[in-house]
Amino acid sequence: MPIYKSTSGSGMDGAIAAVMSPSPIIRSAAPVARMLFINGLCRSRLGRSEAGTAVVAFALIVAVAWGLTRFVSGRAAYIHVGAMFGTIMAANVWSLILPTQRRMIALLAEGKRLDPAMESQAMLRTRHNTYLSVPVVFLMLSNHFPTVSYGHADNWIMLGMLVLLGWAAAHVMRRL
């Protein structure tokens, strides 16, 4: 019994592909929608609470994993979630962390005071990247252990457990 079955190299499970294929519009709009939602969440009142943000983020990650496993194979869902994490991390660096760092250096060079809100957003996104990096590694490693990851009957739950384990490991690493 194959664990991963592809239809035309699309990552679609054969049984799922017979029912439906994700629209190119959905595939293109999803990363933009995620970034808009994450930016909104991080700038909201809830975004100031590390625990609140973690709960909402975890619920969304599990919902995305569950939804993806309804349309693509477990392996493809893991790849999509890993790509989502990588996209979020890259966007954090290029759209917020580096520009903020440049502005902070310019302000310090001019002898001006730093904007605390600007500094806190950059720190928040840096913390997010720290917490996303370990789950990304776990998702990459999961490809070598299909029976306890994407090949499991409840693969979306296993993905959620990998994310929680990754967050716990990142939390320990931050404390060292």
d(Cα 107, Cα 111) in Å, to the nearest integer? Answer: 6
Q: Alpha-carbon Rg of the chain, whole angstroms?
A: 18
Q: What is the mean pLDDT of residues 143-154?
A: 87
Alpha helices in 22-146 (DSSP H): 24-43, 50-71, 74-92, 98-109, 116-142
Q: How many domains does the chain have?
A: 1
For residues 16 and 44, the model is more confident at: 44
Instruction: Pick the closest to residue 3 from 168, 146, 100, 103 (CA basis).
Output: 146
Tell me whether residue 6 is in a domain.
no
Name the residue range of residue 37's domain. 23-175
Range 44-48 contact pairs with CB under 8 angstroms and sequence separation of 24 or more: 47/124
HSE-up (13 A, CA, CB side) for residue 7 = 13
Tell me whether residue 46 is in a domain.
yes
Tell me whether residue 16 is in a domain.
no
Q: Would you say the pTM of this structure is higher than 0.75?
A: yes
pLDDT at 114 over 80: yes
Tell me whether residue 18 is in a domain.
no
Tell me whether residue 73 is in a domain.
yes
